[in-house]
Structure 1
């Protein structure tokens, strides 16, 4: 792959909020602890205090979670290394999308792996483990039950409820799997040998990225949630996270930034098989939404102590939970994730948990051979592929036209002629001036109609180039959305099994540009 970098500002895909963060705008500094720079990790390492007993619990949880999964030696070594006080993690998280979902999931993992490699080279006295945090507790099945390939949507329909990681790969899933016979063996083997969606995702991520030492962590674990009991209680009975997140959110809004998440007084779900619903306080009782389950305060306190796994953090508490159970130094996320983490700095400070280095993942656009050929014939540079078709077409047709379809000179002459004759006629009879003005308006409208016909004729003459441009822009942004947020990795992986290796070679976690990657694959 050939790599070309385009400034994020030129893509039109990123909010001012996100761009201000990566550019280090002064007003945002109270909302994070470290700039996303390599040198920041020296301070992050010094600030991270992770109890040895927590490492033991984490290690045991991972041993349990990987039971029955074939892992390469490097993964096992990374899991065991977490017992050492000199080992730290760098983490990204994502939903359990079918067949990895959109490309940017792959980009997240590659960015995280490369960050661990760069940190290892820069700080050789320590060991760094790349981590993928599986969002097994998420319950929004509609967001993950499909993938798109070559413009077609492949979808699994299921009436199962609750945390998606527990969804069983039942007969309906087996029927869905028969619709994707082209899928690589790594996926088919993972799905066919698994009972649940969470198990399958762990296996296919391990198959694709295990050679790079990537460790998969499932936060839906009783042992790990035992480390989170104090926060669960503080959220349920004192609403402390809400107050802190609300304060940061209001301060950001005063600076003109739009919120990405909206904290609640209680930021926990109640979780059991087939159920993940919000907990809300109603008088002296705590009610589980959309159910007949409720608790007194004493019952909840007892449940926190005996079964902390019944409590599932929402988007406000999940980042804190992650940082409390991992010896983590950095979180790598997309534009929306980075922004909402900035709303949570007060929550971290309240619970005296170090805020990690907040890193944007890498961004990329892959252009295949035929599309590159079309762009070349148009004379486009790499920034042009992020343009708007209608805006480009207007300028392009005006530049390439054989006839001045705007008819500017003709309109000027008509206006001057009617004004002159109207003024002369007014010396005979004042009402004639209005008649000439009305005639001018009708004549200009006729010229406008003719100009539109001329433009359409020019567009027909230039149709080949217009079709090329439309094809390139549709490839770069299918349906108007960035390629990385729509297209599945198999669009490139099926013809290039070395795709992941190519991305590993191209990505730099500290390069905050849009990478345009050229491939000769069809």
Structure 2
């Protein structure tokens, strides 16, 4: 392992192999996986906003600072300012937070120390504190951050780069984080606690652990031995990614919050961010883009144990919704000075807060996150904070060995799987030498025959024309029913094949969406213990391709 301080190279385990596919799809071998890379557009699963961003469309260029390239990171390094005092505050906060981790991995300890050095920068991703890591894309975000740091260290060896997971501990939407799906079954943590979820006691999670089909030591240890959900989540990310030097940070910290004070004061007295975001939203809408998040007049919450409620201004008073608390302007500004930890940024101001307390170069998010960062450029400019490089996290489809076998038995390739089920049925029918049942030619012939009969009837007895029309409709209906029967008979002939296709689609695209948005890490890591390593080796965060991992 490379050791410490100054310009030392951070320790990254395992080999690294850079990949840069030149075509629409390309394959390579990684551990026991066959890797296929495809364009995001080819999957049909991403928004026009993301397609335009990756294509570097001129329409979007006014809404971000730099597009993520290795060269752009060099410019970002030169621009990002972070003082010795800021580093010291960050270091002390992290030392305090990592006091809950019994045995800090040497790679993490090294990164914590390196954050004191003026040549150390971070690459950050963030997410809610979903129990058991929630959907797979939680893992994909973190791996993208890890690999971005690896790329940057190769390109800029005189600097150090630390992957950071920003824990959304102040989020209060418990219903979004209290469940996860494992092997097709939903598990839910029941709790009556309220307020910021990071402060929640882990009470009740032992019942979820007992319901699971087997023991998962990482989660058993974290949930049984941690006081809060924030502590437990830090323990989990440390256990899963400690060897890669991932640093997890909790913004719910008094000393860190002091950096946000100037923003809090402007927000309370000028409601600045709302004006700027609404201006930007109007510009985006004019270009055909729908805003991802919506701003409030005051984009702050008031935070105490068991409480996180919006701050609203009514006349000369600032009220905390759903409570009896209210403040004059002088009182609330004094409250902010004395208790900065009680002021919690919402989705509009949280990104600004992150960039104020971290020596950060880039933020990594999913498609929706990337889109809402575009709404914030003027907010950063107004507060004179460097806007980070915005990166789309890696996305992936994991195909287990049994599913890979089914796929090949059906004569399909990985990219085929993104097609609609009915389209795939047609493809299979074609491969089975079964023509699509279509009686359109017969319908046209029938219509022509009845037209002749109608002309004949009109010449003999015009009152018969209506009867001819009725008989024509009956015949058309009969032909339509025959078409359906023939299709059903053909489908029954290959019912087992089509059922296999349907099952394959359901397994790889649960509830009709990308696997990463539904399934949990444990659904795959249980049978493939090296899955995280496979992701680290397969993901290239700067090539902007969708990754298909096929187990061999």
Same structural fold, with TM-score higher than 0.5 when normalized by the shorter chain: yes
Q: Does the aligned pair in 2 maintain the 1:401–1:458 contact within 8 Å? A: no
Counterpart residue number, 1:117: 150
Q: How does 1:138-217 map to 2 (within 5 A)?
A: 138-170=171-203, 172-180=204-212, 182-217=214-249
Q: Does the aligned pair in 2 maintain the 1:386–1:476 contact within 8 Å? A: no
Instruction: Report whether the alignment pairs 1:349 with 2:411.
Output: no
Structure 1 Cα separation of the partners of residues 370 and 81 of structure 2: 23
Counterpart residue number, 2:339: 307
Structure 1 Cα separation of the partners of residues 256 and 240 of structure 2: 26
Structure 1 Cα separation of the partners of residues 369 and 452 of structure 2: 64
Moved more, 457-466 or 255-264: 457-466
- Name the CA shift for 1:71/1:448 in 2 (closer, same or farther; >3 Å): same
Q: CA deviation at 1:402?
A: 5.3
Structure 1 Cα separation of the partners of residues 368 and 181 of structure 2: 22
Structure 2 Cα separation of the partners of residues 49 and 237 of structure 1: 27
Q: CA deviation at 1:19?
A: 1.2
Counterpart residue number, 1:257: 289
Counterpart residue number, 1:15: 47
Instruction: Report whether the alignment pairs 1:73 with 2:116.
Output: no
Structure 2 Cα separation of the partners of residues 256 and 475 of structure 1: 35
Counterpart residue number, 2:326: 294
Query: Which blocks of at least 5 consecutive residues in structure 1 are unaligned?
Result: none
Structure 2 Cα separation of the partners of residues 226 and 293 of structure 1: 22
Instruction: Report whether the alignment pairs 1:332 with 2:364.
Output: yes
Alignment partner of 1:111: what SS?
helix
Counterpart residue number, 1:102: 135
The superposition leaves residues 53-78 of structure 1 with CA deviations (integer Å, 9 ceiling, x where unpaired) of: 11110011001101131211121111
Q: Does the aligned pair in 2 maintain the 1:103–1:489 contact within 8 Å? A: yes
Q: How does 1:470-489 map to 2 (within 5 A)?
A: 470-489=502-521
Q: CA deviation at 1:178?
A: 1.3
Q: CA deviation at 1:392?
A: 3.0
Structure 1 Cα separation of the partners of residues 470 and 409 of structure 2: 47
Q: Does the aligned pair in 1 maintain the 2:100–2:231 contact within 8 Å? A: no
Q: CA deviation at 1:426?
A: 2.1
Alignment partner of 1:2: what SS?
strand
Counterpart residue number, 2:471: 439
Counterpart residue number, 2:312: 280
Number of residues of Structure 1 aligned to a counterpart in Structure 2: 519
Q: Does the aligned pair in 1 maintain the 2:362–2:388 contact within 8 Å? A: yes
Structure 2 Cα separation of the partners of residues 500 and 247 of structure 1: 42
Q: For the aligned residues, what is the CA RMSD?
A: 1.5
Moved more, 494-503 or 219-228: 494-503
Counterpart residue number, 2:28: none
The superposition leaves residues 83-109 of structure 1 with CA deviations (integer Å, 9 ceiling, x where unpaired) of: 111110000001111111111000001
Structure 2 Cα separation of the partners of residues 420 and 408 of structure 1: 19
The superposition leaves residues 97-127 of structure 1 with CA deviations (integer Å, 9 ceiling, x where unpaired) of: 1111111000001110000011011001111
Moved more, 387-396 or 87-96: 387-396
Counterpart residue number, 1:85: 118
Counterpart residue number, 1:422: 454
Structure 2 Cα separation of the partners of residues 400 and 245 of structure 1: 55
Counterpart residue number, 2:170: 137
Counterpart residue number, 2:24: none
Greater than 4 Å deviation, 4+ residue runs: 394-404
TM-score, normalising length: structure 2 = 0.92
Structure 1 Cα separation of the partners of residues 470 and 142 of structure 2: 67
The superposition leaves residues 414-452 of structure 1 with CA deviations (integer Å, 9 ceiling, x where unpaired) of: 222222222223222223333323222211111111111
Counterpart residue number, 2:4: none
The superposition leaves residues 7-27 of structure 1 with CA deviations (integer Å, 9 ceiling, x where unpaired) of: 211212111011111110001
The superposition leaves residues 133-162 of structure 1 with CA deviations (integer Å, 9 ceiling, x where unpaired) of: 000000011111111011100111000000
Q: Does the aligned pair in 1 maintain the 2:205–2:223 contact within 8 Å? A: no
- Name the CA shift for 1:104/1:403 in 2 (closer, same or farther; >3 Å): closer
Q: CA deviation at 1:401?
A: 7.0
Structure 1 Cα separation of the partners of residues 476 and 206 of structure 2: 66
Counterpart residue number, 1:126: 159
Structure 1 Cα separation of the partners of residues 454 and 430 of structure 2: 33
Q: CA deviation at 1:374?
A: 1.5
Alignment partner of 1:233: what SS?
helix
- Name the CA shift for 1:153/1:404 in 2 (closer, same or farther; >3 Å): closer
Structure 2 Cα separation of the partners of residues 228 and 407 of structure 1: 69
Q: CA deviation at 1:394?
A: 5.0
Structure 1 Cα separation of the partners of residues 522 and 208 of structure 2: 17
Alignment partner of 2:70: what SS?
coil
Counterpart residue number, 1:221: 253
- Name the CA shift for 1:416/1:212 in 2 (closer, same or farther; >3 Å): same
Instruction: Report whether the alignment pairs 1:242 with 2:274.
Output: yes
